Amino acid sequence: MPGATFKGGVAAALFATALVSSQPASAQSPFDNPPPDKIVITVATVNGSGCPAGTAAVAVSPDNTAFTVTYSDYLAQVGKGAKPTDFRKNCQLNLVVHVPQGFTYAIASVDYRGYAHLEKGATSVEKASYYFQGSSNTAAKSHEFTGVFDDNWQATDVSDIATVEWAPCGALRNFNINTELRVNAGTSDTTNTTSFMTMDSTDGSVSTTYHFAWKECPPA
């Protein structure tokens, strides 16, 4: 990539609260009790300049407590060698989540990882929003970075169990994840230097992990 040397991991952690209307009733701890049966997540659509066709993949952990989105071509950059449109990249994932019967879920926390190189005077922002199909509510979080910065980054936001909202019981609603990387040149020297933020690396893809919370639905 022009003007950029990747090392393996960019980061920002976003709070992904699942948005819904109905609250299942259960006294058990949803963070510690995943359903015994496996869940299945399929990608309905992937759109955006940060995730061209074939560059984003979703996998579910064996214990059903998390799912991971892996990107292999997600880079925003400004300066030497960058195109005018490269300063912002985005990706929208529309996921179909098939949950075992009798359970519902929320997204309790999310970890973003990656690598950033920011020259003096440059800044970058990582932003994400989350919502269920048909819901008017959207949870959003952004993280800012300031040059000089040249390192892996990682952060985690965890929701309190009292604040998470749950997918409606007995209804299949697609889950949407919108992410964005934006790099601003600011006062940096864009003639001779390049600043960038990436969710990919030359030595392997960077994973973004979303952690589930679970509850049993009330009897129908």
- Residue 152's pLDDT is 87
- pLDDT tens for 28-81 read 444 456 777 777 888 888 899 999 988 888 888 888 788 888 888 999 999 999
Residue 167: exposure state from Cβ atoms within 10 A (0-12, 13-18, ≥19): buried
pLDDT at 9: 30
Give the integer Cα–Cα distance in Å for 87 and 132. Answer: 28
Per residue, the 3-state secondary structure of the chain, as one string, reads CCCCCCCCCCCCCCCCCCCCCCCCCCCCCCCCCCCCCCCEEEEEEEECCCCCCCCEEEEECCCCCEEEEEECCCEEEEECCCCHHHHEEEEEEEEEEECCCCEEEEEEEEEEEEEEEECCCCEEEEEEEEEECCCCCCEEEEEEEECCEEEEEEEEEECCCCCCCCCCCCCCCCEEEEEEEEEECCCCCCCCCEEEEECCCCCCCEEEEEEEEEEECCCC
pLDDT of residue 13: 27
pTM: 0.75
* Cis status, amide bond into 164, omega within 30 of 0: no
pLDDT, position 109: 83
Which pLDDT score, from 0 to 100, does residue 155 have? 67
pLDDT value at position 180? 93
The mean pLDDT values, 10 residues at a time, for the chain of 220 residues are 37 28 38 71 89 86 83 94 97 87 83 92 91 76 92 72 68 85 97 91 57 83
